[in-house]
Amino acid sequence: MIRVAPALERFEAARAGALSGQSVREVRAAARRLRVWLQLSGITALVDDLRWLCRETSRLRDLELFAGVLTNSAALAEAERRAFAALNSRRLDGVIVALRALPPLRRSRARTRLQGWEKSLRSNTLKTDDDVHALRKHVRRVRYAYEWLGEDSKELRRVQNVLGALCDLAALSRLLTS
Amino acid sequence: MVSVTLIRHAIAEDGADDAARPLSKEGRRRFRASVETLERIGVRFTKVLHSPKRRALETAELLRSICDGDFEVTPLLTQKPSEELLALLDVHELAVVGHEPHLSSLLAWLVTGKTALAGNFELKKGAVARLEGDPEPGGMQLRALWAPRVLR
């Protein structure tokens, strides 16, 4: 059985950290790990809430990432307002209450789902920036699933980092344009 | 003007931890049949708002096949209805999955403007109430109130 409680504690600590001025990066990563746990469980309901949190904090994350090259205090203030509203929301309180009430994930169920994800990962083709972004997300999901199952995910982490660097360049291009 | 559908969670198992009580097999089977009926009569949702308690979450999940949009969890559905909750209802074709006695209070508040009249709007487990109008006290009309056995 795979319990969500330890990851939920890390998520709550990251949430508190982000609200006290630390980077939103940790809370976004913690939210994605929880999302993968839900997806491995076959639960769809709270996935939207965690996806919403990542969406609401994405602008702030981009601005944090390129803080050395970009300075736009108005954009930063707006991104912080949006991110903090999400981090302070009752919706997020609800996610935590709901996750605490869920039963542990069965390892056999997780393995079956992971096999399906691995199969579709192998069939990816890369033609556009969007394909790279989609592949990065797919790799990250499989990597987090490995982590939940206690399996070695170093190789996937390396692939994810390379794809992440490509996606960060695309994000910088978007920010410069806007 | 919006259409809001209030749904009481399906039959759940007993348990010491109220928030963690799952739906019973029978509750799941019956509510699945209700969802099939809703689908047959053309009911679709653009969003599902649900309580964080496990039985409400599991009931909400059974609505996935008739929802085209996002799911949102809110602890406001485990409390007396509030203005803050009403602000979340301004979505056309919204489904709201919650608990008694708060769901009946919300229904009475939306239809009559008075939560004290909740006793007139009994919602059995798995019951569905369709409302239309503005999601403010006394601003909505009750279009249908289906007991679970009617939908199965």
Instruction: List, in order, residues 6 or more apart from A116 with CB less than 8 Å away.
Output: none
Instruction: List, in order, residues 6 or more apart from B148 with CB less than 8 Å away.
Output: B10, B30, B31, B34, B124, B125, B126, B127, B128
| B46-63: pLDDT as tens digits | 999 999 999 999 999 999
- A94 interfacial to chain B (CB closer than 8 Å): yes
Query: Between residues A135 and B24, which one has the greater pLDDT?
Result: B24
At B10, which helix (H) or strand (E)? none
Q: Model confidence at B152, in pLDDT bands (50, 70, 90)? A: confident
pTM metric for this prediction: 0.91
ipTM reported for the complex, 2 dp: 0.93
Q: Which residue has the tokens 């509750």?
A: B27
CB contact under 8 A, A101 and B74: no
The two tokens of residue A112 are 């079956």
User: A108-112, A134-138, B48-52, B88-92: which range is least confident on average?
Assistant: A134-138
Which residue of B52, B70, B76 is in closest CB contact with A98?
B52
Q: Which of B54, B67, B73, B79 to mutate to test the interface with A (most CBs of A within 10 A)?
A: B73
CA dist., res. B106 & res. A134, Å (int): 42
Read off the pLDDT of each residue in A120-124 and give the average, rounded to a whole number. Answer: 75
- A29 interfacial to chain B (CB closer than 8 Å): no
Tell me which residues of chain B, numbers 54 to 93, contact chain A at a CB-CB cutoff of 8 Å: 54, 57, 60-61, 64, 70-76, 84
- B50 interfacial to chain A (CB closer than 8 Å): yes
Q: Which pLDDT does position A25 carry in this prediction?
A: 92
Tell me what percent of the residues of chain B surpass a pLDDT of 70.
Answer: 100
Query: Between residues A157 and A92, which one has the greater pLDDT?
Result: A92
Q: Which residues of A touch B73 (CB under 8 A)?
A: 45-46, 49, 91, 94-95, 98
Q: Which pLDDT does position A70 carry in this prediction?
A: 67
Beta bridge partners of B23: B12
Looking at the complex, report in whole angstroms how far the Cα of residue B108 sits from the nearest Cα belonging to chain A: 24
Q: Determine phi and psi for B93, rounding to 5 degrees.
A: 60, 50
| A5-58: pLDDT as tens digits | 999 999 999 999 999 988 899 999 999 999 999 999 999 999 999 999 999 999
Q: Which pLDDT does position A156 carry in this prediction?
A: 83
Region of B126 please: left (phi>0), alpha (psi -120 to 50) or beta.
left
Query: Between residues B135 and A66, which one has the greater pLDDT?
Result: B135
Read off the pLDDT of each residue in B137-144 and give the average, rounded to a whole number. Answer: 97
Contact B100, B119 (CB under 8 A): no
Looking at the complex, report in whole angstroms how far the Cα of residue A51 sits from the nearest Cα belonging to chain B: 10
Closest chain B residue to the Cα of A99, Cα to Cα: B52
Q: Which pLDDT does position A68 carry in this prediction?
A: 67
- A95 interfacial to chain B (CB closer than 8 Å): yes
Closest chain A residue to the Cα of B65, Cα to Cα: A44
Q: Which of A8, A38, A43, A48 to mutate to test the interface with B (most CBs of B within 10 A)?
A: A48
| A64-110: pLDDT as tens digits | 877 766 667 888 889 999 999 999 999 999 999 999 999 999 999 99
Query: Between residues B86 and A170, which one has the greater pLDDT?
Result: B86
Closest chain A residue to the Cα of B59, Cα to Cα: A45
The two tokens of residue A119 are 């199969």
Q: Which pLDDT does position A49 carry in this prediction?
A: 98
Strand stretches in chain A, DSSP E: none
